[in-house]
C-alpha cells in the first residue's frame, strides 16, 4: 500500500468510527468503503443460522428493486453468503474460491441479479458470527473493474475489524442513549424536583418539576447553568451545600444534608442533597451531587381513598388525618375544619386505635407511605 493509499485508508477508518456515533454518516462511510476496495455497490446484511431470514442493515449503490429481489429469491442462490457460517471473522471470499468464474456466469444468480446491476463479480467478508446468525459485508465488482483480485480481498480483510468494532460501538451508544432518554422521562414524571449538579455546582440535568421550580422563581431561579436562591434564608442554606458539591468524590454519609427552607410566597420546602459516587478521576462536569426539593406538605401527593380503605376510616377521620399531615396542631386543625377541639381529639383517638400509631408524628409517617411520587397530570394529559 502506497503512502497515498495508507493515508486514504487511515482517513476511511476514521470515517467508519465517526459513523458509530452519528448514524447519518453511515451511508457515506459505506460508500467510501465500496470505493476503496474497488466495488460499485456494498451491503451489510445478516442471515440467521436457520437460513430463514435476512436483514439488510446498510447499503450503497444497490437499487431498491434489487435489494427486494435479493431478499425474496436470490439470497438462496447466493453462492457466498452461507459459507460464512463456517468461516472466521475477517475472512474474505470471492466467487473463484467457490467455483470457476465461467460456472458462476452460467448461474441464474449471475444472469438475473449480478449482471443486470452492471457487475461481473462479488466478494464477501465476515464481520460478526455467532450461533444465531452471521453478518457480512457484500461488495459487487463492476464489469469495468474486472474480477475480484487480491488487492480487493486484502482491503476488505483490513477494513472488516474496523467495521465490526464500529457496529458494536454504535449499538452501545444507542443502548446508553435509550437508557438516558428513558431515565429522563421517568424523572420528568416525578413530583419531586430533582437536580443533578457537577463538582462546581453547575446544573447538569433538571427534571420537569425542577424546571418548573426555576420558572416559578419563588425559591430558586436558574441563571445560566447555576442555581440562584431567591431569599436570604435559601441563599444561606444553598451556599452551605457548596461543600457537598466540592467534595462529592468523598461520598461520605456525613456530608448529606436535609434542610427546611421557606419560599417568598410562604411555602415550605425540604432540600435533600447528597453526593453521587464518582470513580477514579471523573470529569469535573460529570454529575457529582443530586439535589431533591419537595414541598413540605404531602397533601397533594397522598391517595386519601387508599388510606381510608386500608384503615377503615370514616370521612371525618380521614379529614382529620389529612389535616394532621398538612397542619399538625389540634387547635389549628379545629380552626381549619370548623369543629371543636374536643371533636378533633375524639377523631385523633380513633385514628390511633385504627392505625396503631401512638403519636401524631407516627400518623404522618403512616400517611407518607401512601404518597404518590408521580406528578399530577395536567388537563392535557391522559389518565388511564
pLDDT in tens, the chain (384 residues): 666 666 788 889 999 999 888 888 999 999 999 999 999 999 999 998 887 788 999 999 989 999 999 998 999 999 998 888 888 888 899 999 999 999 999 999 999 999 999 999 999 999 998 888 899 999 999 999 999 999 999 999 999 999 999 998 888 877 766 666 677 777 887 778 888 888 788 888 888 889 998 888 888 888 888 888 888 888 887 777 666 555 555 544 445 566 778 888 877 777 888 777 665 555 656 777 888 887 765 444 567 888 888 899 999 999 998 888 777 788 888 988 999 999 999 999 999 999 888 888 788 777 766 765 545 444 333 333
Strand partners, 289: 197, 275
3-state secondary structure of 321: helix
CB 367 within 8 A of CB 298: yes
3-state secondary structure of 268: strand
Q: Where are the alpha helices (DSSP H) in 224-329?
A: 232-240, 242-246, 304-311, 315-326
The pLDDT, as a whole number, for residue 383 is 31
**What's the grid cell of residue 8?**
486514504
Task: Find, among 169, 140, 139, the residue nearest to 156 by Cα.
Answer: 139
CB 322 within 8 A of CB 308: no
**What's the grid cell of residue 54?**
435476512
3-state secondary structure of 289: strand
Four-residue CA torsion sign, 211, 217, 221, 222: positive
The pLDDT, as a whole number, for residue 141 is 96
The pLDDT, as a whole number, for residue 160 is 93
Give me the count of residues in the chain.
384
Four-residue CA torsion sign, 74, 79, 83, 89: negative
Q: Report pLDDT digits (tens) over 272-287.
A: 887 776 655 556 567 7
3-state secondary structure of 169: helix
The pLDDT, as a whole number, for residue 179 is 66
pTM, 2 dp: 0.53
The pLDDT, as a whole number, for residue 126 is 93
Q: Residue 162 CA to chain centroid, in angstroms? A: 25
Amino acid at each position: 500500500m502506497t503512502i497515498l493509499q495508507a493515508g486514504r485508508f487511515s482517513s476511511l477508518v476514521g470515517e467508519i468510527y465517526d459513523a458509530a456515533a452519528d448514524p447519518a454518516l453511515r451511508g457515506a462511510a459505506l460508500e467510501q468503503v465500496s470505493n476503496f476496495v474497488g466495488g460499485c455497490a456494498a451491503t451489510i446484511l445478516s442471515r440467521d443460522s436457520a437460513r430463514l431470514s435476512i436483514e439488510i442493515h446498510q447499503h450503497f449503490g444497490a437499487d431498491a428493486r434489487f435489494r427486494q429481489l435479493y431478499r425474496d429469491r436470490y439470497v438462496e442462490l447466493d453462492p457466498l453468503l452461507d459459507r460464512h457460517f463456517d468461516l472466521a471473522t475477517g475472512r474474505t471470499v470471492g466467487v473463484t474460491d467457490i467455483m470457476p468464474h465461467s460456472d458462476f456466469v452460467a448461474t441464474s444468480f449471475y444472469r438475473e441479479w449480478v449482471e443486470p446491476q452492471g457487475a461481473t463479480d462479488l466478494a464477501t467478508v465476515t464481520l460478526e458470527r455467532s450461533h444465531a446468525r452471521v453478518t457480512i459485508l457484500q461488495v459487487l465488482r463492476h464489469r469495468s473493474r474486472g474480477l475480484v483480485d487480491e488487492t480487493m480481498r486484502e482491503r476488505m480483510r483490513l477494513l472488516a475489524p474496523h467495521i465490526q468494532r464500529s457496529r458494536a460501538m454504535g449499538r452501545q451508544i444507542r443502548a446508553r442513549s435509550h437508557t438516558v432518554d428513558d431515565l429522563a422521562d421517568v424523572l420528568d414524571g416525578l413530583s419531586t424536583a430533582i437536580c443533578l449538579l457537577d463538582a462546581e455546582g453547575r446544573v447538569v440535568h433538571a427534571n420537569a418539576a425542577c424546571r418548573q421550580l426555576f420558572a416559578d422563581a419563588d425559591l430558586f431561579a436558574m441563571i445560566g447553568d447555576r442555581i440562584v436562591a431567591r431569599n436570604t434564608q435559601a441563599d444561606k442554606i444553598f451556599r452551605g451545600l457548596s461543600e457537598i458539591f466540592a467534595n462529592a468524590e468523598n461520598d461520605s454519609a456525613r456530608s448529606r444534608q436535609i434542610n427546611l427552607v421557606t419560599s417568598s410566597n410562604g411555602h415550605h420546602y425540604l432540600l435533600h442533597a447528597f453526593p453521587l459516587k464518582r470513580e477514579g478521576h471523573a470529569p469535573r462536569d460529570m454529575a457529582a451531587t443530586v439535589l431533591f426539593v419537595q414541598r413540605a406538605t404531602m397533601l397533594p401527593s397522598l391517595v386519601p381513598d387508599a388510606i381510608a380503605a386500608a384503615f377503615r376510616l370514616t370521612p371525618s377521620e380521614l379529614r382529620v388525618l389529612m389535616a394532621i399531615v398538612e397542619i399538625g396542631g389540634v387547635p389549628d386543625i379545629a380552626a381549619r375544619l370548623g369543629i371543636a377541639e374536643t371533636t378533633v381529639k375524639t377523631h385523633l383517638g380513633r385514628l390511633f386505635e385504627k392505625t396503631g400509631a401512638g403519636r401524631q408524628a407516627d400518623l404522618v409517617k403512616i400517611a407518607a407511605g401512601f404518597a404518590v411520587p408521580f406528578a399530577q397530570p395536567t388537563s392535557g394529559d391522559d389518565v388511564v
